[in-house]
Amino acid sequence: MIEASKLTTEFGSLVFNDKIMKERLPKDIYKAVHKTIEKGTHLELDVANCVAATMKEWAIENGATHFTHWFQPMTGLTAEKHDSFISPTEDGKIIMEFSGKELVKGEPDASSFPSGGLRATFEARGYTAWDPSSPAFIKDGSLYIPTAFCSYGGEALDKKTPLLRSMEALSNEAVKMMRLLGYEDVNRVNTTIGSEQEYFLIDKDFYKKRKDLLLTGRTLIGAPASKGQEMEDHYFGVIKPKVSAYMHDLDEELWKLGIPAKTKHNEVAPSQHELAPVFETANIAVDHNQLTMEVMKKVADKHNYACLLHEKPFEGVNGSGKHNNWSICTDTGINLLDPGKNPGENIPFLVFLMSVIAAVDEYAPILRLSVASAGNDHRLGGNEAPPAIISIFVGDELAEVLKAVEAGEAYKAVGKSQMTMGATVLPHFTKDNTDRNRTSPFAFTGNKFEFRMPGSSVSVANANIVLNTAVAEEVAKLYAKLSAYSGNELKEKVKEVLKETLLAHKRVLFNGNGYTDEWVEEAAKRGLPNLKALPDCMPYWISDESIDLFTRHGIFTKEEIYSRYEILLENYSKSIHIESLTMQEMIRKDLTEGLVAYEKDLSKEIVQKKSLLDGDCCALELGVLKSLDKSSAEMGKALSKLFEDTKKAEGMTEALETASYYESTVLADMDELRKYADEAEALIPEKYLSYPTYGEMLFSL
């Protein structure tokens, strides 16, 4: 356990961070590395050799025997392959070695990672390349080196490469714009991300007894417990001591890895919790989120918990998401989404705000796709998470600012009002000009946007790749309209262009309750897309508009776009296929076993009782038996249908058609089957079931 007084020194103790580099690297080498990180310049081999030697020394001092390139293939997970530092010598001994070449480049066999047709299996070579802007760290006795992953032909096979490309694209466009607006000293613009991570904790012994959780991450059957989340007593509730011990351990592990874990609390659903870090530069934040998810699972194991990161592990209670807080900040320290004291006069703010509004409206289907997955589609639109319709909440103050933009009038900033709580002993403070809105998928929250649609289990890279690129595009469009002007003319032109952009995109602005049916109707009237599931979004991904966008900014080549199309569809279909098989097995074996055993006991009891008492007895037992029999008969029919339809799906070959079939038919079959299975399960006493019920899992900690 880290003592509180040692925290400042223990934070990042397993990270080869800037402080260590400054202390240990020769000055000129340190400078060269920094230049690479800041300007993206090429790293010379002698510099790499020196950094590698220093890294190795530091890693060995900290207990590492191995190193690994750490990358994020398109599985959405992370990948690693460890090599020890040892190198045999002639005298039968070893020395510890690590060269600059090993640091900057790796050659993992790429053939078993998804490539979506980018690489034939015989062209197995893949390369990993060091990302010096994300620091190396030590975990489980290995030095981890964050890397990008590409094919022999140079196509990105991972999530980091396009993310870095998108950050650069946005930076390039934003710098041009800032300079046009008179901020000559801006050389780079950084994307910043803070991703709040939701998760469930359940007893590990329960977890192990459920095939659905083990194989698919979510429960596929399960009658609801008598209590759900209706008492609203879990959100921000007192953290139970066992959970608190877990959270404490988790924080410490994350801090040692240099991950700035900041906030922890109970979430809305029983057994659901959240962790939020302090925001960081996008690629580091994404790396850190991947690590956070991994450490969450590892620490859970030590505490005899299973940490569930699936977006919808339990029906009937909230699922888990990953709010993506996003902003852009210049290297001179200006947060471009900070409205400041007088937002109406803050030209950079208005220009970037409008670019975000235009980007989200224009590219809504692709943004929707960036968060689509078999898991997350269960959560979106479930009246507990944002709907699948993308809209933007700007809040009262900005709504007024935008009204002024539209009317071509000056906006007068209203001072903050004083909060009055009616008791003089309470502190006096000023009130925010805008209340919160919890139902918006894309909400302005003071000095950043919070994209609330990403699912809890996936990398946030995709969402940010799309967001960065779309905003880069809109900034570029505004720049093109403004670049011919200067001085007062520019000022006037900015007003005109902002108004024009607002008029074109204001349909995406919505400050009301996004969970209502009225909004669904209203959104349809406004022409906003409502894409319910991944297969619905896919055609947009390969549309001309999308290919244009991503190729123009150098984020994806056409081939890279198509490879992701194949992978997403395949992954979607495979996930539902596994769910279908798992559900069939659980019902056929586990539920049926409990059901038959209970029916047998009930029937025996009824026969025996009837032989002793008169014919009218056993009303309750007979009632239960009849209900069970009815549900099981329906269950049998629904099970056959799911079996048949899944077989049909297995024979299908066209990717989009198959995925759509899984969505419209197989998932619907599963819902139908679940209805009867849950009806039956609700009648069966726990002791007859080989797996734990919702009540046990959600309320036992």
Residues binding ligand ADP (CB under 6 A):
192-194, 196, 276-279, 325-327, 335, 445, 447-448
Shortest Å distance, C-beta 489 to ligand ADP: 32
Q: In the numeric block, which tokens belong to residue 653?
A: 């070959």
Closest CA to 85 of 143, 130, 132, 138: 143
Shortest Å distance, C-beta 364 to ligand ADP: 21
Tell me the residue length of the chain.
Answer: 701
Question: What b/e sequence results for 504-524 when a residue is b if at least 16 CB atoms lie within 10 Å of its CB, and e otherwise?
Answer: ebbebbbbeebbeeebbeebe
Q: In the numeric block, which tokens belong to residue 146?
A: 């964050």
Q: Is 264 helix (H, G, I), strand (E, B) or coil?
A: strand
Rounded to an integer, what distance in angstroms lies between the CA atom of residue 670 and that of residue 375? 14
Shortest Å distance, C-beta 519 to ligand ADP: 22
Shortest Å distance, C-beta 135 to ligand ADP: 19
Shortest Å distance, C-beta 198 to ligand ADP: 12
Shortest Å distance, C-beta 194 to ligand ADP: 2
Q: Which residue number, 276 or 534, has a Cβ lying nearer to ligand ADP? A: 276
Closest CA to 62 of 24, 114, 118: 24
Q: Which residue number, 430 or 603, has a Cβ lying nearer to ligand ADP? A: 430
Burial of 544 (0-12, 13-18, 19+ CB in 10 A): exposed
Supply the DSSP symbol for 688.
G
Q: Which residue number, 138 or 174, has a Cβ lying nearer to ligand ADP? A: 174
At 431, phi and psi to the nearest 5?
A: -95, 145
Closest CA to 267 of 304, 219, 319: 319
Q: How many Å separate Cα 386 from the centre of its chain?
A: 14
Shortest Å distance, C-beta 593 to ligand ADP: 46
Q: Most distant CA pair in the chain: distance in Å?
A: 102
Q: Which residue number, 36 or 192, has a Cβ lying nearer to ligand ADP? A: 192
Q: Which residue number, 100 or 194, has a Cβ lying nearer to ligand ADP? A: 194
Q: Which residue number, 327 or 457, has a Cβ lying nearer to ligand ADP? A: 327
Query: Is 204 within 8 Å of 301 (Cβ atoms)?
Result: yes
Rounded to an integer, what distance in angstroms lies between the CA atom of residue 382 and that of residue 431? 32
Shortest Å distance, C-beta 413 to ligand ADP: 21
Residue carrying the six token digits 């613009």: 189
Shortest Å distance, C-beta 447 to ligand ADP: 6
Q: Which residue number, 348 or 692, has a Cβ lying nearer to ligand ADP? A: 348
Q: Which residue number, 194 or 454, has a Cβ lying nearer to ligand ADP? A: 194
Q: Which residue number, 192 or 318, has a Cβ lying nearer to ligand ADP? A: 192
Residue carrying the six token digits 């196509």: 155
Q: Which residue is nearest to ligand ADP, using beta carbons?
A: 194
Query: Is 472 within 8 Å of 553 (Cβ atoms)?
Result: yes
